[in-house]
Amino acid sequence: MKNTDTPEKKETKKITFPQEWLVPVLAVVTGLIVGAIVILVSGENPFVAYGALFEGSFGNPLDYVEGFKSFFTTGDTQLLLRAIYPFTESLVTATPYIFAGLSVALGFRCGLFNIGAEGQFFVGALTSAYIGYSLTGLPTIIHLPLAILGGALGGAIWGMIPGYLKARFGAHEVVNTIMMNWIAFRLSDWLLNGPMKSSGFRPVTPNVEVTAELPRFFPEPLRFNLGFFLALLFAYLVYWFLFKTTLGFEIRSVGANPDAAKYAGMNIIRNFVLVMFLAGGLAGLAGSAQVLGVDHWVGQGFSAGYGFDAIAIALLGKSHPAGVVLSALLFGFLRSGATDMQSIARIPIDIISIIQGVVIVFIAAPDIIRWLYRIRVKKAEDTVLTRGWGK
Amino acid sequence: MTNVLELRGITKRFPGVLANDKVDITLREGKILALLGENGAGKSTLMNILYGLYKPDEGQIFVRGQAVDILGPNDAIAQGIGMVHQHFMLVPVMTVTENVMLGIEPVKNGVFLDKEKVSNRIREISDQYGLEVDPNAYIRDLPVGIQQRVEIIKVLYRQADILILDEPTAVLTPQEVDGLFKIIDTLIKSGKSLIFITHKLKEVLAVADDITVLRLGKTVGSIDPKEATTDTLATMMVGRDVNLVVEKSPAKPGEPVLEVNDLFVRDERQQTTVQGISFEVRKGEVLGIAGVQGNGQTELVYALTGLLPLDTGTIQLTGKPLSHNSPREILERGVAHIPEDRQRHGLILSFPIHDNMVLCTYYKKPFANGISMQEKAIFSKSEELVKQYDVRTPNIYVNAGTLSGGNQQKVIIAREFSRPIELLIASQPTRGLDVGSIEYIHSQIIKKRDEGSGVLLVSSELDEILALSDRIAVMYKGQIMAVVDAASATKEQLGLLMAGVHPSESKNKK
Amino acid sequence: MKKLYFVMAALIVASLVLAACGGGAASGGDAIKVGEVTDLGGIDDKSFNANGWAGAQKAAEELGVEAKYLESTQQSDYAKNIQQFLDEDTNLIVTVGFLLGVDTATAAKANPETHFAIVDYAYPDCFDPAEEGKSCGSTTELPNVLGLTFQIDQAGFLAGYAAAGSTQTGKVATFGGINIPPVNAFMIGYEKGVMYYNEENGTAVEVLGWNTEANDGSFTGNFDSLDDGRSFAESFVQEGADIIMPVAGPVGLGSAAYCQESGACKIIGVDVDWTVSSPEYTDVILTSVLKNINVAVYDAIKAEVDGTFAGGIYVGTLANGGVGLSDVAGASDELKAGLDAVKQGIIDGTIATK
């Protein structure tokens, strides 16, 4: 066909991209500036603080130079490993954020607000841990996928319950996912003190078998593992699913305009259940990757609120898998770098929460950012995130 | 007689578009100026400039002979200019009084809202202009026509004497339009001046004292309504001769495609709004359903397209009953649906045109292979449809929300006509559209009829029903009053039926 | 906009330069370096972490050590924060709480030159079928790790004695978070203390919520639900108790709130002096069982400074001030004298608390 010279026209589509991402980027910048002001007010030097934050998340450039020097002259890897340690730790921290962010983003795309990622994370982690330590003598090739799959399935079921309740009884998923969180927390309390408790008195699970661990790429103490690449793979899969498949098309249609989706013959209820199942699975994978890749055991307070930070990550990433990966990396670098900031600059770790909070406020109220930076709105074609309470 | 408002040489550029090009308009005191133009002619831009929402690049505004700069709505209000927007700016969960006082809340004793003062003033205004609005009613409980009056009260409360009504009749039923015209009359008699923005030609001729026509951002000219006809106005608006009469040959009805038997339907609030309807639509004919808005037409169409469940009754498509009355089944059985509310049901505004083009067929070959969507096929089909149906858009990758109403409707029509269909259900297919688009859509509907599809046309515009239908069913309170032959039907006869009066009864009364 | 980008770029470059220079500057000086790694409670938990940090700060003031802390916000931070201190060549790393048990042992084994002190934990902690480095830290005592443990049953004993001497109803109660030794040690001593009071004074005060013989009692199952604290207190009051010792962290604050509202009970605080950590409940706090982590941490740091640091187990007792009981509100002179005598008896070893 002659009138299908699409490549040329596709470019005009891509031009709108930066404009769309300007607000999130400026929100982050503003968050850092506000953070700097808070640091300044508390009597510290923001440059030193952010210098430490940078060093803590990417590593010290001089260490890299030393590391490579010693590697090429003596073949000794120790200094080099030490140099890349902060960077790899950031990626390790970002890994559960990517999974959990994808979970919430997938929900948003269907107009569902999955506040339950935290609970799904717990259930996923516990399931993976159980499969990881209770089965012995399996080869890695079977044990590891089984443990990962178990975590995904555990989270998926935990997510599907509110999805089903919404579809069947119209119960709002926000309320139900919060309830499921509490059930998960208390369930984990009970499991860690009872059936899943390791020997000794501590309320923790036994460590998972080596065959269930996600392989690490470097010697101790570097914890960088296959989980990060799994997260990237799943980000791509979610992208493909959402934008290249009929199922994703339905999900996005239901999210953007449920009336039109119904008009077009899509089954809205089935999509709700499907999305909550998949979103739960992704959050479960976050827990799975954390337990199989980093901790190898689950104790009380296993999650640091990944499921809640994930909401911010999905918002910041505009519910697009690529955006989620970027904002998860940002959160990972901030969280991980904060250790150095705490130690070198003596800035309490809470400053990171302040920066995150400011970013979220600006993302939720983009008009402030537009006003602050005098950005003209072309045409407000806002994506609908969630439906109100009435529907 | 003085000119209360004059706009001279107003020019406004947007990136890539010259929205207003040296536009001049003049509003005489105590008169109604109709501002006429197709969608995208620059009417809204001009009014936004007047209301201070945009700053003109060139030109000057004069209010009562004084050159003024209007930098924001507050300046406009200070100059006595008030605007009634097409889309109402009302808070549904608040009362009339609360809505009117929003933004200028008067207080007593320093802190307490003085609602009483406002509601008394509303009563005064309401009595003075015959608006009949209860200050304590909640907006959500009011019909659209009354909500519009609340908007008018908001403007009058702010002591405007130059009123701008933006497409005020687009959302009203014929009765409500009559009511509005009466109100306009009272307003003029009490010394207000009005700008009336519309693209409905007959209304213009009915109410305007002066007419100014805009086209492509320019003033085409002004004309005295006494000398104008709908044809001359249409030609000025569109820039070419417009065929307002739909040319069609007599119908050649064939087999029934849709048979409806004793249908009862409840709406979303569980009110039975369709009460025992039976009719049939045959191949190659247009059955028009006339009636005042809100007599069950919407629910009838929803039931026929699977958007609402049936209470009782049966629907047969091409002689076979439906198994579970789902939208998907009905689509697959060859029914095309141009929905009444194109932005709610017809399109996903935040999706690009190409996605909207395959909204009902995305899962079928060649657009999907298994679950994998085939972008190439979707893009090429969309390009083809955009060309074939003359959708005015830079490309198929822009969001449907960026298109004008007429072009949005064309996307829906292109999509619905792009698959083989037995039956077309068109509900208010030209509501809110400009003359050029109406002409095009009417011709497309007749074309489908001539290709052998059955057409069910639901419209609250009698002119449209009369122009397109072969047979006309009139709905009143959820029932069909009568089915008449379009060729012999008259407006008067239909009007009586729409009011619930049987022709036989009216003859008896004579 | 262009200006903005420029400013941003300049800021980033400035940060980079400072980052490159900052690393070395921070780690100057010859002072002994001490680092505390908190558990998830954070540095201002008004409990273990805060208490440990108080000891470190005192050491910084009096002994001139350089003290720092790193807060853990998630489980995976434990190893990371320990590693951070190792990278900074810290001399003594204090880890707070048994959840850091495995990570501390792992790091200690990998870094034999560095000294560690772990609060409320000790090695060896591996008992069959636990696997070293996984579900437990070490099968042997570690020469560079000092376990800071507390014979809290001694202080619990005093609390039980004080409770028995203060009750109006003849019933006193206790409950725990979960039934693990660090928790039930309080309750064991408490019950013993009540029994001892009964023997001495010919009373018949009953203990609700714990039975050492059965090794079981009332547990909330968590350490964070204030609602549980409230409902446990309420049911104990219904059973007739008027003094309650909640051994479940912040859960006890729920109990305190209930007592304050109902006026029907008094609370015995644990770990720290609750009249200091939660002064709003002072009027319902009878006394507090003190686990003086600050003393233990200070002593460990002092040993490090003096060059006498040795691995093994530090046991906080009434004798060395590692545990204690705060002042008992409204205690009669008779009760005060009794408590003093009991304390002396425990220190002398004439009274058994377990």
pLDDT in tens, C247-296: 998 899 999 999 999 999 999 999 999 998 889 999 999 999 999 999 99
Q: Which residue of A has its CA nearest to B305?
A: A263
Which pLDDT belongs to residue A391?
32
Instruction: Return the SS3 of C233.
Output: helix
Average pLDDT over residues A183-188: 91
CB contact under 8 A, A220 and C68: no
Which pLDDT belongs to residue A355?
86
- Mean pLDDT check: name the lowest of B11-20, B191-200, C8-17, C86-95: C8-17
Where do we find the tokens 């005009």? A12
Answer yes or no: do B355 and B302 share one domain: no
CB contact under 8 A, A302 and C128: no
Q: Out of B359, B383, B395, whose CB is closest to A260? A: B359
Please, what sign has the CA dihedral across residues A135, A139, A144, A150? negative
Please work out, in degrees rounded to the nearest 5, the angle formed at the alpha carbon of residue B79 by the alpha carbons of B77 and B13.
Answer: 80
CB contact under 8 A, A256 and B348: yes
- Mean pLDDT check: name the lowest of A370-374, B176-180, C280-284, C348-352: A370-374
Q: Given pLDDT bands bounded at 50, 70 and 90, which one contains residue A341?
A: confident
Average pLDDT over residues A229-243: 96
Q: Are strands B58-63 and B218-223 parallel, antiparallel or unpaired?
A: unpaired
Residue B247 resides in a domain: no
Residue C97 has pLDDT above 70, yes or no: yes
Average pLDDT over residues C77-105: 92
Which pLDDT belongs to residue A289?
96
Answer yes or no: do B442 and B509 share one domain: yes
Neighbouring chains of C at 3+ CB pairs under 8 Å are A
Rounded Cα gap, residues C173 and C207, in angstroms: 5
Where do we find the tokens 């425990």? C346
Residue C75 has pLDDT above 70, yes or no: yes
A376 touches chain B (CB under 8 A): no
Residue B178 resides in a domain: yes
Per residue in A38-78, pLDDT (tens digit) is 989 888 888 888 999 998 899 989 989 999 999 999 888 88
Partners of residue A270 in chain B, C-beta under 8 Å: none
CB contact under 8 A, A198 and C80: no
Residue B245 resides in a domain: no
Which residues, 6 or more positions from A275, have their beta carbon under 8 angstroms from its beta carbon?
A106, A107, A109, A110, A112, A163, A251
Answer yes or no: do B216 and B275 share one domain: no
Q: Given pLDDT bands bounded at 50, 70 and 90, which one contains residue A3?
A: very low
Which pLDDT belongs to residue B461?
79
Which pLDDT belongs to residue C25?
39
Residue B262 has pLDDT above 90, yes or no: yes
A62 touches chain C (CB under 8 A): yes
Partners of residue A256 in chain B, C-beta under 8 Å: 348-351
Rounded Cα gap, residues C270 and C160, in angstroms: 12
Q: What ipTM goes with this model? A: 0.82
CB contact under 8 A, A55 and C71: no
Residue B194 has pLDDT above 90, yes or no: yes
A139, with CB counted inside 10 A (0-12, 13-18, 19+), is exposed
Partners of residue C108 in chain A, C-beta under 8 Å: none
Q: Given pLDDT bands bounded at 50, 70 and 90, which one contains residue A368?
A: confident
Which pLDDT belongs to residue B128?
87
Which pLDDT belongs to residue C43?
86
Rg of chain C, C-alpha, whole Å: 23
Residue B210 has pLDDT above 60, yes or no: yes
Residue A13 has pLDDT above 60, yes or no: no
Whether the bond into A221 is cis, omega within 30 of 0: yes
Q: How far, CA to CA in Å, does A263 sit from each of A26, A40, A108, A246, B304?
A: 38, 56, 21, 16, 12
DSSP state at residue A299: B
**Architecture of the structural domain at C153-290:** 3-Layer(aba) Sandwich (3.40)
Q: How far is A268 from chain B (nearest CA, A)?
A: 12
Per residue in A274-304, pLDDT (tens digit) is 999 999 999 999 999 999 999 999 987 777 7
- Mean pLDDT check: name the lowest of A145-154, A344-353, A365-374, B329-338: A365-374
- Mean pLDDT check: name the lowest of A305-314, B213-222, B234-243, C145-154: B234-243
Which pLDDT belongs to residue B451?
92
Residue B48 has pLDDT above 80, yes or no: yes
Q: Out of A198, A199, A201, whose CB is closest to C181? A: A201
Per residue in A83-93, pLDDT (tens digit) is 999 999 999 99
Residue B262 resides in a domain: yes
Average pLDDT over residues A106-128: 95
In 10 A of CB A19, how many CB atoms?
Answer: 12
Q: Which residue of A has its CA nearest to C2?
A: A373
Rounded Cα gap, residues B55 and B52, in angstroms: 7
Tokens of A269: 């209820």
Partners of residue C126 in chain A, C-beta under 8 Å: 200
Answer yes or no: do B266 and B223 share one domain: no
Tokens of A324: 């989620």
CB contact under 8 A, A60 and C15: no
Q: How far is C318 from chain A (nearest CA, A)?
A: 25
- Tell me the percentage of chain B whose pLDDT exceeds 70: 95
Q: How far, CA to CA in Å, does B204 sit from each of B201, B207, B218, B224, C232?
A: 5, 6, 19, 11, 78
CB contact under 8 A, B346 and A263: yes
Axis crossing angle, helix A78-109 with helix A226-244, rounded to the nearest 10? 30
Neighbouring chains of A at 3+ CB pairs under 8 Å are B, C
Answer yes or no: do B63 and B74 share one domain: yes
Answer yes or no: do B120 and B207 share one domain: yes
Q: Are strands C312-316 and C145-150 parallel, antiparallel or unpaired?
A: parallel
A168 touches chain B (CB under 8 A): no
Tokens of B24: 């001049």
Average pLDDT over residues B282-307: 91
From B363, B393, B419, the end of a domain falls on: B419
Where do we find the tokens 């249609």? A253
Residue B360 resides in a domain: yes
Contact status, residue A198 vs residue C130, Cβ threshold 8 Å: yes
Contact status, residue C172 vs residue C194, Cβ threshold 8 Å: yes
Rounded Cα gap, residues A334 and A295, in angstroms: 20
Residue A367 has pLDDT above 80, yes or no: no
Residue C194 has pLDDT above 90, yes or no: yes
Q: Out of B327, B363, B380, whose CB is closest to A246? A: B363
Per residue in A135-159, pLDDT (tens digit) is 988 999 999 999 999 999 999 999 9
Q: Out of A92, A202, A349, whose CB is closest to C99? A: A202
Domain count, chain B: 3
CATH number at residue B466: 3.40.50.300
Answer yes or no: do B13 and B129 share one domain: yes
Per residue in C286-340, pLDDT (tens digit) is 999 999 999 999 999 999 999 999 989 999 999 999 999 999 988 899 999 999 9
Answer yes or no: do B380 and B438 share one domain: no
Which pLDDT belongs to residue B234?
82
- Mean pLDDT check: name the lowest of A341-345, B6-10, B182-186: A341-345
Answer yes or no: do B170 and B300 share one domain: no
Instruction: Return the SS3 of B476.
Output: strand
Answer yes or no: do B410 and B436 share one domain: no
Domain edges within chain C: 31-150+292-323, 153-290
A320 touches chain B (CB under 8 A): no
Where do we find the tokens 């906080």? C316
Residue C3 has pLDDT above 60, yes or no: no
Per residue in B344-369, pLDDT (tens digit) is 899 999 999 999 999 999 999 899 99
Partners of residue B360 in chain A, C-beta under 8 Å: 264-265
Maximal C-alpha separation, chain C: 87
Q: Out of A10, A247, A267, whose CB is closest to B397? A: A10
- Tell me the percentage of chain A whose pLDDT exceeds 70: 90
Per residue in C36-50, pLDDT (tens digit) is 999 888 888 888 899
Round the average pLDDT of chain A to a whole number and report it. 86
Residue C176 has pLDDT above 90, yes or no: yes
Answer yes or no: do B234 and B153 share one domain: yes
Mutant choice from A2, A3, A5, A6 vs B, greatest count of B C-beta within 10 A: A6
- Helix (H) or strand (E) holding B74, with range, is helix B73-78
Answer yes or no: do B312 and B408 share one domain: no
Residue B191 resides in a domain: yes
What is the span of the domain harbouring residue B285? 252-334+421-510
Q: Out of C20, C22, C69, whose CB is closest to A48? A: C22
Rounded Cα gap, residues A157 and A130, in angstroms: 16
Round the average pLDDT of chain B to a whole number and report it. 87
Question: Phi, psi (5° rounding) for residue A384?
Answer: -75, 125
Which pLDDT belongs to residue B503?
65
Q: Out of B332, B387, B394, whose CB is closest to A12? A: B394
Partners of residue A342 in chain C, C-beta under 8 Å: 69-71
Q: Out of A50, A343, A348, whose CB is closest to C15? A: A50
Rounded Cα gap, residues B251 and B254, in angstroms: 9
Residue B244 resides in a domain: no
- Helix (H) or strand (E) holding C338, with range, is helix C333-348
Q: What kind of fold does domain C31-150+292-323 have according to CATH?
A: Rossmann fold (3.40.50)
Please work out, in degrees rounded to the nearest 5, the angle formed at the alpha carbon of residue B74 by the alpha carbons of B68 and B75.
Answer: 5
Bigger pLDDT: A22 or A318? A318
Q: Given pLDDT bands bounded at 50, 70 and 90, which one contains residue B158?
A: confident
Q: Which residue of C has its CA nearest to A47?
A: C15
Cα-Cα end-to-end distance for chain A: 44
Q: How far is A313 from chain C (nearest CA, A)?
A: 18
